[in-house]
Amino acid sequence: MIEDKNQQRTQLSDLGEFGLIDHLTKNFKIKQSSTIKGIGDDAAVLNFENKKIVVTTDLLVEGVHFDLSYVPLKHLGYKAVIVNLSDVYAMNAKATQVTVSIAVSNRFPLEALEDLYAGIETAAKIYDIDVVGGDTTSSNTGLLISVTAIGEVEADNEIYRKGAKPNDLLVVTGDLGAAYMGLQVLEREKEVYKVNPNNQPDLEPYTYIVERQLKPEARKDISKLLKDLNVKPTSMIDVSDGLSSEIMHLCKHSGLGCDLYENKIPLDPQVISTCEEFNIDSTTVALNGGEDYELLFTVSQDDFLKIKGNPNLSVIGFMKESTEGIHLVTRADTRIPIKAQGWKNFND
């Protein structure tokens, strides 16, 4: 398993709060022209001229959202940023700034927080965003990390969960279920490690799915791709909780029903083989797994030829009147109502 490789253990109390903040944030560079003042004053100052602003926050709690026995802190810092950027991209906006707040117990040495911030810094670099502030406090138990992301969008270009029309195509980016299966592998290896700490896991056959769990990426590219294809989605959401609940959100907010085709759900071969190994139904995993951070959106049927065959995009269904309900059309051509949770027992 991934062990604490920090040889050095500098007590946080040796630095004091201000020393700690300075130390952790000293490498952050301002890249966005909209950032007037970043870290270092009572508040950041941003100037978005005449653009609309989107703001989103996520809170991650140790033991609830992550398990430090197999999540390296660097990956956690990266992921904490990514999950927020994904929400910004789901509005069709460009992510520009984040703030990062942490509550940390004294069981963490400075070196652990350096790792966390190295992940945050890497995400900021790759996604071209500024870290413009945050808060630092102590916690009696575990680690809490809250990231707020800010983004900008040109007038009237934002895309909501509402807005889909009957007959619109339902489209998803990338593939689904990998992060969930990566978690299953990591959980299994954790149990093996508990029994025999000398047993080093062979994660080689699972590199893609483990990476999707530990180091997810957000779909920064899709807004531009759609613009280049001259396609404007009618509604959009990111896939954080699993395909079924995201479909239900789009349907609820747009006042529609939907048919989702099981044989169209994009799955990586490693997801399929790992599902076979764990004896789990891959459709169930795609529908209920979550943490894919792909984008799910609807487009008019008129746009079909523009997106057809694009390797980033899969048409997985189409929208219907709300009276038609929300269904999975299985490979055997049966129609099963989709519920946020619950339908997954249909195979048993």
The residue range among 133-141, 198-206, 257-265, 305-313 that interacts with ligand ADP, by the rule CB under 6 A, is 133-141
Q: Which is nearer to ligand ADP, 128 or 187 (CB)?
A: 128
Element (H, E) at 87: helix 73-89
Q: Residue 328 binds which one of ligand ADP, Mg ion, none, with CB within 5 to 8 A depending on kind?
A: none
Residue choice 25, 34, 86, 254 for contact with ligand ADP (CB under 6 A): 25
| Strand, helix or coil for residue 259 | strand
Residues that bind Mg ion (CB under 5 A): 135
How many CB atoms are closer than 10 A to CB 275? Answer: 22
Q: Distances from the Cα of 51 to the Cαs of 31, 48, 85, 156, in angstroms?
A: 18, 6, 18, 10
Considering only the stretches 40-48, 209-217, 300-308, 335-343, report the one whose residues sit in contact with ligand ADP under the rule CB under 6 A.
40-48
Residue 39 interacts, among ligand ADP, Mg ion, none and using kind-specific CB cut-offs from 5 to 8 Å, with ligand ADP
Are the C-beta atoms of 214 and 79 separated by less than 8 Å?
yes
- Does position 21 interact with ligand ADP (CB under 6 A)? The reply is yes
39 touches ligand ADP (CB under 6 A): yes
- Nearer Cβ to Mg ion (136/300): 136
Helix axes 178-195, 269-278, angle to 10 degrees: 50
Between 19 and 337, CB nearer to Mg ion = 19
Question: Strands 130-138 and 94-104, how do they pair?
Answer: parallel
Task: Considering the complex, state which of residue 28 and residue 66 has its C-beta at the smaller distance from Mg ion.
Answer: 28
Taking the C-alpha atoms of residue 292 and residue 187, their distance in angstroms, rounded to an integer, is 18
Binding-site partner at residue 338 among ligand ADP, Mg ion, none, CB < 5 to 8 Å by type = none
DSSP for 233-258, written as a single string: -SEEEEESS-HHHHHHHHHHHHTEEE
Asked if 124 touches ligand ADP (CB under 6 A), the answer is no
Contact residues for 200 (Cβ-Cβ < 8 A; gap 6+): none
Compare residues 57 and 301 and give the one whose CB is closer to ligand ADP.
Answer: 57
242 binds ligand ADP per the rule CB under 6 A: no
* Least gap, CB of 344 to ligand ADP (angstroms): 39
